[in-house]
Amino acid sequence: LLLSSFYSWMMDIITEATYLGCHTSIVARGLKIGFTLFLISEAFFFVGFFWAWFSSGIGNLSSGCLWPPRPIIPVYPWGAPLFNTAILLASGAAVTWAHRAVAIHDREEAMIPLGLCVLAGVVFLRFQFGEYKAASFTIADSAYGSCFYMLTGLHGSHVLGGTLFLAAMLVRNYFCHF
């Protein structure tokens, strides 16, 4: 359902903007406002979950308990999480490179960083899945497990969405829609 909706929406955007020329300044402004509101709502969503994470941890520490609670073994931060962070930073640099290439109408130059971004998203999701498989705790183990899986799972879904959007932009760039 998600992929079908995404595909239909992309096809409408492509048809209206590229072939029909229907994207007036009002439509473009509406898309920008909608995306801005989406980003603000997502920021508040993540703030709420991080608040729960820190509140649970600090509350336990102030009462003399351990965080994370026993017998949970937290994920080792210098392995896959550090690698995934490096992937995200490199992807951010690549998407900036792609944006600048599209802005100066260099379609061929934009193909490389867009492809790298899509590849980075796939690699990130693969390592995230591996991290879930290796974790010694589940979402039902405690507030630590619940917050960990909610935050990383929601972030992973955002990476998946971004990867799909970047893949759509890669295809659109290939077909000279910019």
Q: How many degrees, rounded to 5, is the angle at CA 91 between CA 85 and CA 97?
A: 145
Q: Which two tokens stand for residue 85?
A: 């962070």
Are the C-beta atoms of residues 103 and 173 closer than 8 Å to each other?
no
Are the C-beta atoms of residues 36 and 30 closer than 8 Å to each other?
no
User: Which pLDDT belongs to residue 69?
Assistant: 83
Report percent pLDDT > 90 for the chain: 62
Sign, CA dihedral 171-172-175-178, equals negative
User: Which pLDDT belongs to residue 9?
Assistant: 83
**Residue segments in the chain with a per-residue pLDDT below the cut of 50:** none
pLDDT tens track for 165-176: 999 999 989 988
User: Which pLDDT belongs to residue 124?
Assistant: 98
The structure tokens 């932009």 sit at: 169
Q: Does domain 2-174 have CATH number 1.10.10.10?
A: no
